[in-house]
Amino acid sequence: MVTNDDGANANSTAHAGFVSRYLFNTHHKTIGLQYLWLALLSVFVGMILSALLRIHSSWPDTAIPFLASFESTPERYAAVRLLHGSLMVFFVLTAAPQLGFGNFLLPLQIGAEEMAFPALNLISFWMTVASLIGMTASFFFPLQSGIDVWLLSAAIFSVAALLSAVNFTVTTIELRATGMTLPRMPVTVWAWFLNAILSMLIFSVLLAGCSAVLSDRLLGSNFFSAASFLAQQPQNLVRQGSLPVLWQRLFWYFAQAEVYVAMLPCFGIVTHLIATFSRKPVWKERLVVLALCGVGLVGFCVWGYHMFATGMNPYAPLVFAVLASSLGVPAMILMASWFVTLWNARIELSASMLFAIGFVSLFIAGGLSGLFLARHDLARAAVSEDFVVGHFHLVMGVAATFAILAALFFWFPKLFGCRLSEPLGKAHFWMTFAGVYCIFMPMHWMGLLAQSQILSPSQRTLLAASGGSFRTIVTLATLWTVAAQLLFVFNFASTLLRRRELEEDNPWHASTLEWSIASPAPQVNFGDALPTVYRGAYEFPAGFSNDFAPQHLAPELLSQKAR
Amino acid sequence: MPGTTSTPDIELIIEKKGGGGGGTPPPAGGDGGGDDGKRGRKGRPSPKRYYTGIALGIVSILMFFMALASAFLVRKGASTDWVSVHIPTLLWINTVVLMASSGTVELARKSLAKADLPGFKKYWSMSTGLGVLFLIGQLVAWKQLAGQGIYLASNPASSFFYIFTGAHAVHLIGGVGALLYVSLRNFDRAKVTRAVAAEVTSYYWHFMDALWLFLLALLYLGK
């Protein structure tokens, strides 16, 4: 059933119409690019929504042009947050690093001509589009039917993600070029591969959860109906009025692992870029791959730590706290590898590398606050909403966005055949970097103050008053950061309009397979013969011209290149 | 898992017989891409991707049902409104029908291995028929339950009964689709041989079979 008809290939004729060239093209590069455009659209809508949310929380009386036409109820505000969250999580953080860059680059990096199941790939792309439309539309529906539409869209997204995950996994297992052994795979490929396996497991759970909730809401079944179920739970463990616990368990089972689904490919991308721009192999590459496996494995097991406050076995929080804290181990390995790779290297500080290093910085800053949250006792004492919001935006949202930007700057020549402007890119980086710290650091602080137990009540009232000014700082920083993205839009648009030709096909002197062919990547990836791989992905031996040893170059040719 | 017959042999026989492998099938290597027909550097791609693909597909479907099964156990353990569903006798007959269809799928593949195409078609259509019969049987069982006043919305146990049988039926409809695909497809032009398509489909079908046994056991023992 996964067989696709070979007659259906769309771009067999160069002048095929728009429909067959773009809408029904099964080619992996086209689909990858389409995912990236989708993510770009979503990120800008999501960002504008976040600015609206900040403006509203700082100056609640201001009429906001777009939202004024809606009734101003707390539910509406929550709906804006939901839309912001779903756009960012599903269509930016999940779609861009894995589905966008992954679809485009995975076959190129392993030396394959296509994904394993191109037709399946096309189907899952269009299901993703349908889900994007559904989630956006759900915002405009009345509240209750809006929730139904949202759930249905989430279910569609899950199916799409499952199909993509199977496709990625099979492609990596079966379609690697001759000589592309597992240890020789670039870390990016490892990350996409492991991430696909993780997605395969968790999106089925989200699908099951969504189907059951939808059936409850539409058909009146009794999976999550709260009344009788909650009555059985020990009273002290159930917060009054909390949502049905079972649904929460299934949901967090998915949602916590979803964080790692967003992060894993970013780890891969950043590791790849740091090695390439440091002109050094990835330090302890195998350990890094093991760490990525560890992230996936632990990420799969920590769902319970969102449930500390609900009815659980009293020992369960301890177990989950230990598991959550043990995420620190793979994280430490990754960070050690990044730092040792950077140590004493001839670092080329391109805009792409700046974003990659920015990712490391944000990951550390966000990860440190995660340590507080992983301890269930500390979390209960110290956590208020601002702290959590600050934490996960820094580590998941912003850090992942930095990795996506780093990847975009790096692979732009491969995608479009021209380079983004470096000076503009660097200015964009510094403005954004400063901006996001000014948003999320005060937010952490606000979260801590709100729960502070050591202050007297009068001091707390005083702080609450000053909290307002904090809030204004955060809002101003948000507006600044959103404005800084105009630089990026300008850079992006002007580069594409000018299309200045590349001087060389491999501007970064990278050694992986995608750079062994022309830039932009030709329609047929590798021409008449698939490449053969002779060495690992990160070999930068001194003494060779351009100081790197491409994976596809036969040893005898390589020694000719030696000075 | 069945399907222990060695695949390469089967393929060889089929390719000789059908002449499908001998001609120049559009290079599946094109796999999409923009190169169909232009480059003959690869013939049919290795069928391994289909085996891996179906194995992974089975894993994620299993995960879907495990999520529901764990919800079933948790929900049952902590509710006061649980009214067990008595499993209709028809379900046991349906189970036998489904088991039989797995058997005929294997018989069909044996015939194919012996290059007995009419035999294959006969057994394969029987499997498809049995599959459809099972689905009809499930539908009748639902009607019987509804006749007794047990609906999806009646209580948690009935909700789970309907969602388990329903979700399994949806997956089985996919399986019937795959069976029909294998019997109707012209494999001379396809990227896969009939033997590969039949084997991959049979894995899915047997999995549906085993999954049904598991769900039935869960519903019966866990009521």
Tell me the per-residue pLDDT of A236-279, one tens digit each, with 9 for 90 and over.
444 443 445 566 666 666 777 788 888 899 999 999 999 999 98
CB within 8 Å: B32 and A26: yes
List A544's β-bridge partners, or say none: A562
Distance in Å, alpha carbon of A296 to nearest chain B alpha carbon: 16
Are residues A221 and B163, on separate chains, in Cβ contact within 8 Å?
A: yes
* Nearest residue of B to residue A232, measured between CA atoms: B78
User: 3-state secondary structure string, A271-319?
Assistant: HHHHHHHHCCCCCCHHHHHHHHHHHHHHHHHCHHHHCCCCCCCCCHHHH
> Which residue of A119, A215, A524 is in closest CB contact with B33?
A524
Q: Do A208 and B33 touch (CB under 8 A)?
A: no
Q: Which residues of chain A are within 8 Å of residue B189 when distances are taken between CB atoms?
A: 6-7
Of the listed ranges A83-92, A104-113, A465-474, A491-500, the least confidently predicted one is A465-474
Q: Does residue B15 contact residue B22 with C-beta atoms inside 8 Å?
A: yes
Chain A residues near residue B172 by CB distance under 8 angstroms: none
Q: Give the minimum alpha-carbon distance from A524 to chain B in angstroms, rounded to a whole number.
A: 7
Residue A451: per-residue pLDDT:
61
Give helix A74-86 / helix A118-140 axis angle, nearest 10°: 160
How far is residue B2's CA from residue B102's CA, in Å, rounded to a whole number? 10
- Provide mean pLDDT across the span A394-399: 87
**Six-digit token string for A245:** 């616990």
The partner residue sitting opposite A6, judged by closest CB among B26, B79, B152, is: B26
- How far does Cα A321 stand from its chain's mean position? 24
Residue A448 — pLDDT band, cuts 50, 70, 90? Answer: confident
State the pLDDT at residue B222: 79
pLDDT at A164 over 90: yes
Q: Which residue among A1, A113, A173 sits closest to B33, beta carbon to beta carbon?
A: A113
Using CB atoms, pick whichever of A12, A121, A203 lies closest to residue B34.
A12
Q: Higher confidence at residue A373 or residue B84?
A: B84
Least confident of A113-127, A247-261, B70-84: A247-261
Rounded to 10 degrees, the C-alpha dihedral A542/A547/A549/A555 comes to -60
Closest residue in chain A to residue B196, using alpha carbons only: A3
d(CA B52, CA A187): 22
Does the bond joining A244 to the residue before it have cis omega, within 30 degrees of 0? no
Computed over every residue of chain B, the mean pLDDT equals 81
> Measured between beta carbons, which residues in chain A are less than 8 angstroms from residue B208?
none
pLDDT at residue B177, rounded to an integer: 96
According to the model, what pLDDT value does residue A68 have? 62
Amino acid A21: pLDDT? 74
Closest-CA distance of chain A to residue B155, Å:
6
A342 pLDDT exceeds 80? Answer: yes
CB contact under 8 A, A220 and B79: no
Question: Quick one: pLDDT at residue A237?
Answer: 41
Q: Which of A303-317, A350-364, B31-45 comes out lowest in average pLDDT?
A: B31-45
Q: Where is pLDDT greater, at B112 or A458?
A: B112
Lowest average pLDDT, out of A244-248, A347-351, A504-508, B61-65, goes to A244-248
Name the closest residue on chain B to residue A221, using Cα atoms: B153
Of A205, A228, A524, the CB nearest to B34: A524
Sequence-ordered strand ranges (E) for A183-240: none
CA atoms A531, A534, A539, A541: torsion sign:
negative
CA angle, corner A148, sides to A145 and A152, nearest 5? 145
Is A9 within 8 Å of B33 when comparing Cβ atoms?
A: yes
Q: Which of A4, A212, A232 sits opposite B163 (nearest CB)?
A: A212
Across the interface, which of A12, A203, A249 has its CB nearest the CB of B36? A12
B153 interaction partners in chain A (CB closer than 8 Å): 219-222
Mean pLDDT of A67-94: 82
Inform me whether the pLDDT recorded for B35 exceeds 80. no
Residue A30 clears pLDDT 90, i.e. is over it: yes
**8 Å CB contact of A1 and B177:** yes
Nearest to A229 among B79, B160, B177 (CB): B79
For residue A197, the distance in angstroms to the closest alpha carbon of chain B comes to 9
Q: Do B152 and A3 touch (CB under 8 A)?
A: no
Least confident of A40-54, A299-313, B127-141: A299-313
How much is the average pLDDT of B136-159?
90
Q: What is the mean pLDDT of residues B52-62?
A: 94
Q: What is the pLDDT of residue A351?
A: 95
Q: Determine the distance in angstroms separating the CA of A194 from the nearest CA of chain B, rounded to an integer.
A: 13
Whether the per-residue pLDDT at B29 is higher than 80: the answer is no
Backbone angles phi, psi at B26, to 5 degrees: -50, 135
Cβ contact A234:A276 at 8 Å: no
Q: Which of the residues A170, A230, A526 would you substitute to probe the B interface, choosing the one with the greatest number of B C-beta atoms within 10 Å? A: A170
Q: How far is CA A158 from the centre of its chain?
A: 16
3-state secondary structure of A535: coil
Residue A399, SS3?
helix
If one compares A255 and B101, the residue with the highest pLDDT of the two is B101
- DSSP single-letter state for residue A547: G
Mean pLDDT of B50-58: 95
Chain A residues lying within 8 Å of B34, measured CB to CB: 9, 11-12, 27, 523-524
When pLDDT is cut at 50, 70 and 90, the band that residue A219 belongs to is confident
Task: Please tell me the distance from the alpha carbon of residue A295 to that of residue A331, in angstroms, as a whole number.
Answer: 8
CB interface of A with B, residues 371-410, below 8 Å: none
Q: What angle do CA A443, A449, A450 make, to 5 degrees?
A: 90
| pLDDT over 70, % of chain A | 79
Judged by CB atoms within 8 Å, which residues 160-199 of A form the interface with B?
A: 162, 165-167, 169-171, 173-175
Instruction: With CB atoms and an 8 Å threshold, state whether B31 touches A524.
Output: no
Q: Do B53 and A2 touch (CB under 8 A)?
A: yes
pLDDT at A455: 62
Interchain proximity A215–B163, CB inside 8 Å: yes
Among A184-188, A275-279, A405-409, A545-549, which is the least confidently predicted range? A545-549
Structure tokens at B154: 């009646």
pLDDT at A138 over 70: yes
More confident residue, A465 or A495: A495
Nearest to A6 among B28, B59, B159 (CB): B28
Q: Is A108 on the interface with B (CB under 8 A)?
A: no
Optimal mutation site among A1, A117, A228, A230, interface B, most CBs of chain B within 10 A: A1
Judge whether residue A412 has pLDDT over 90. yes
Determine what percent of chain A is predicted with pLDDT higher than 90.
Answer: 45
Closest Cα partner for A266 from A171, A393, A395?
A395
pLDDT in tens, A165-209: 999 999 999 999 999 999 999 999 999 999 999 899 888 888 988
Strand, helix or coil for residue A91? helix
Of A2-11, A90-99, A113-122, A538-547, the poorest mean pLDDT is in: A2-11
Taking contacts as CB-CB distances below 8 angstroms, the residues of chain A near B154 are 222
| pLDDT (average), residues B132-160 | 91
Q: Which of A124-133, A427-436, A542-551, B79-88 has the lowest average pLDDT?
A: A542-551
User: Could you tell me which chain A residue has the CA closest to the CA of B151?
Assistant: A221
CB pairs under 8 A between A and B: 176
Quote the pLDDT of residue A329: 86
- What does B56-101 look like in DSSP terms, one character per residue? HHHHHHHHHHHHHHHHHHHHHHT-S---PPPPPHHHHHHHHHHHHH
Shortest Cα distance, chain B CAs vs residue A138, angstroms? 25
Helix, strand, or coil (residue A26):
coil
| Contact residues, A window 220-239, toward B, CB-based 8 Å cutoff | 220-223, 225, 228-229, 231-233
Question: Percent of chain B scored above 90 by pLDDT?
Answer: 56
pLDDT at position A489 over 90: yes
Average pLDDT over residues A281-301: 87
- Whether residue A560 is predicted with pLDDT greater than 60 in this model: the reply is yes
**If you ran DSSP here, which 8-state letter would residue B205 be given?**
H
Question: Is the CB of A204 less than 8 angstroms away from the CB of B64?
Answer: yes
Distance from CA of A512 to the nearest CA of B (A): 21
